[in-house]
Amino acid sequence: MNYLSKDVLTNKCNHPAIVLPGAATGLATIRGLAEGHLKVYAILFEHRDAIQYSKYSQTVKFKNSMQNEKQFMAELLAFVSSLATKAVIFPSKDSQALFLARHKQALSPFLIMPNTSYEQLRDIICKDRLHGKAPANVNLIPSIISPSAAELKSWCAENPGPYFLKPFYQGIACCHFSDKNIQFPDSNSLISYAKQNGLNGVIVQRFLKGGDGYIFDCYGLCNFDGEVVVRATHRRFRQLQPDTGTTTYGEIPANLSVEDENAILDATKELLDTLHYHGIFGIEWLQDKNTGKFYLIDFNARPFSSIGHLTSCGLNLPLLSYQELIGENLSSIPEIPKLKHKYWMSFTRDLDSFLTKRTQKEIHLVAWLTSILKCRSFAYWDFRDPLPALFQFALLLKRLTKKIIKTIRWRRLSVISAEKK
């Protein structure tokens, strides 16, 4: 069952939707909106983005990416001002959500957006600020923010490793490393890294025993008044990088005990009650293997990578968010809906995760193939909209071909070198 109001499928308000680029996240958002028979525009920066091949959107190519903020803003204003009616816009990344909030005053005559202010959104997206906003009964992982060398050394003495480094949010300009997360086994390696690179824009955390299979999400939507409209759970079985990265294989809803399910749902609501947030959310939780407690990790104040699989299970958050933003009544939506249970996969990324885990002897080929057979939802594949998946498959073949050629050349050089000796 899809939890949608009856009138959205015959919506006559003519507000188009705009989706900013974000690989699988952007594509899934487009497909969710298309279920409402909406006009959807997909903004495109890169020629390698599969969204350009979806039949559900009209691609609008921009010359400037958001790295050139002034030029991008000019292009965006030129485009949205040319539309006949206001459009509802959806970001796919943290930096995009912050950009829209920062320029809300200039964009609001042409776009419909959540009412969360830039300051509020920054406090939610930035991990250093989010943890400070969390209520006392929400568990937080021991951490320190952008520490000096002396502060780091003192903190490490009280908090044994391993450790985890995270940027305040992915894509933040003041953080020098581009990886989403970096792990260190002990204080010596962490302190050595800090001396060479500094920790500006970084939050340092203890690495609790959790990882793949013990990372959960609570997904949902908050309305204009900051009230939770709907909530659902998700479990991450595999990630890239393993244990610390983006989900590649998971299940919706999470197959948890009633006690653990309620713990995640209740902690999410308590957190949201303090934030007055408006829009789609995906809040990450880690379950400590030793204690069973759930700890707050991150807050995605936007659509997330598994949002298409949530739609496949019966909860179409992009379309519900669109409805809410244009003023439709969502009171008939159950706050905790009953969803179809499905396993899902981002095949290309999960292949990389499998290869890493196989090298570490954490998974065997049969187990991986079995997990594929259990999947009923995939990041790019949709038989009604096959071209994005075919494009991704072509990119995978190209990558594998290059790897094979490189391996053959290396072996030939090894043989030649051996013969010369």
Tokens of 151: 């502060």
Average confidence (pLDDT) over 45-74? 90
Q: In angstroms, how far is CA 133 from the centroid of its own chain? A: 21
Residues 89 and 166 in one domain: no
In this structure, how many other beta carbons lie within 10 angstroms of the beta carbon of residue 292?
Answer: 12
Residues 146 and 108 in one domain: no
Lowest mean pLDDT among 36-50, 155-169, 172-186: 172-186
Instruction: Find the distance separating the first CA and the last CA of the chain, reported in whole Å.
Output: 70
- CATH number (domain holding residue 85): 3.40.50.20
pTM: 0.87
- Tell me whether residue 197 is in a domain: yes
Residues 104 and 156 in one domain: no
In this structure, how many other beta carbons lie within 10 angstroms of the beta carbon of residue 60?
Answer: 14
Question: pLDDT tens across 78-130, in order?
Answer: 999 999 999 999 999 999 999 999 999 999 999 999 999 999 999 999 877 88
In this structure, how many other beta carbons lie within 10 angstroms of the beta carbon of residue 24?
Answer: 25
* Cβ burial 310-333 (10 Å sphere, 16+ → b, else e): bbbbbbbbbbbbbbbbeeeebeeb
What letter represents residue 196's amino acid? Q
Any residues with CB less than 8 A from the CB of 164 and at least 6 apart, and which?
181, 182, 183, 184, 204, 205, 206, 207, 244
Residues 282 and 324 in one domain: yes
Quickly state the pLDDT bin for 173 (edges 50, 70, 90).
low
- Tell me whether residue 389 is in a domain: no
Work out whether strand 87-90 and strand 17-19 pair parallel, antiparallel, or are unpaired: parallel
Residues 239 and 347 in one domain: yes
Question: pLDDT tens across 355-386, in order?
Answer: 999 998 899 999 999 999 999 999 999 999 99
Whether 166 and 203 have beta carbons less than 8 Å apart is answered as yes
- pLDDT score, position 194: 87
Question: pLDDT tens across 301-360, in order?
Answer: 999 999 999 999 999 999 999 999 999 999 999 999 999 999 999 999 999 999 999 998
Query: Distance between CA 175 and CA 271 in Å, rounded?
Result: 26
- CATH number (domain holding residue 334): 3.30.470.20
Among the three residues 155, 175, 206, which one is the final residue of a domain in this structure?
206
Question: How many domains are contained in the chain?
Answer: 3
Tokens of 174: 């003041």
- Tell me whether residue 321 is in a domain: yes
Residues 182 and 200 in one domain: yes
Q: At what angle do helices 317-325 and 23-34 cross, to 10 degrees?
A: 70
CA-wise closest residue to 273 among 220, 234, 311: 220
Any residues with CB less than 8 A from the CB of 140 and at least 6 apart, and which?
131, 134, 295, 296
Residues 221 and 162 in one domain: no
- Tell me whether residue 162 is in a domain: yes
Alpha helices in 252-386 (DSSP H): 258-275, 307-312, 317-325, 347-359, 365-374
- Tell me whether residue 85 is in a domain: yes
Any residues with CB less than 8 A from the CB of 173 and at least 6 apart, and which?
201
Tokens 């302190």 identify what position?
191
Per the structure, the complete domain to which residue 146 belongs is given by 142-206
Query: Distance between CA 305 and CA 378 in Å, rounded?
Result: 11
Whether 328 and 88 have beta carbons less than 8 Å apart is answered as no
Tokens of 215: 């990372």
Question: pLDDT tens across 193-248, in order?
Answer: 888 888 887 888 888 888 899 999 999 999 999 999 999 999 999 999 888 889 99
Among the three residues 69, 84, 119, which one is the final residue of a domain in this structure?
119
Query: Distance between CA 380 and CA 382 in Å, rounded?
Result: 7
* Cβ burial 145-174 (10 Å sphere, 16+ → b, else e): bbbeeeebeebbeebebbbbbbbbbbbbee
Question: pLDDT tens across 135-153, in order?
Answer: 988 999 888 888 888 898 9
Residues 225 and 365 in one domain: yes
- CATH number (domain holding residue 160): 3.30.1490
- Tell me whether residue 306 is in a domain: yes
Query: Distance between CA 20 and CA 173 in Å, rounded?
Result: 19
Residues 316 and 362 in one domain: yes
Residues 343 and 238 in one domain: yes
Residues 337 and 225 in one domain: yes
Whether 208 and 286 have beta carbons less than 8 Å apart is answered as yes
The per-residue pLDDT of the chain, averaged, comes to 89
Residues 167 and 295 in one domain: no
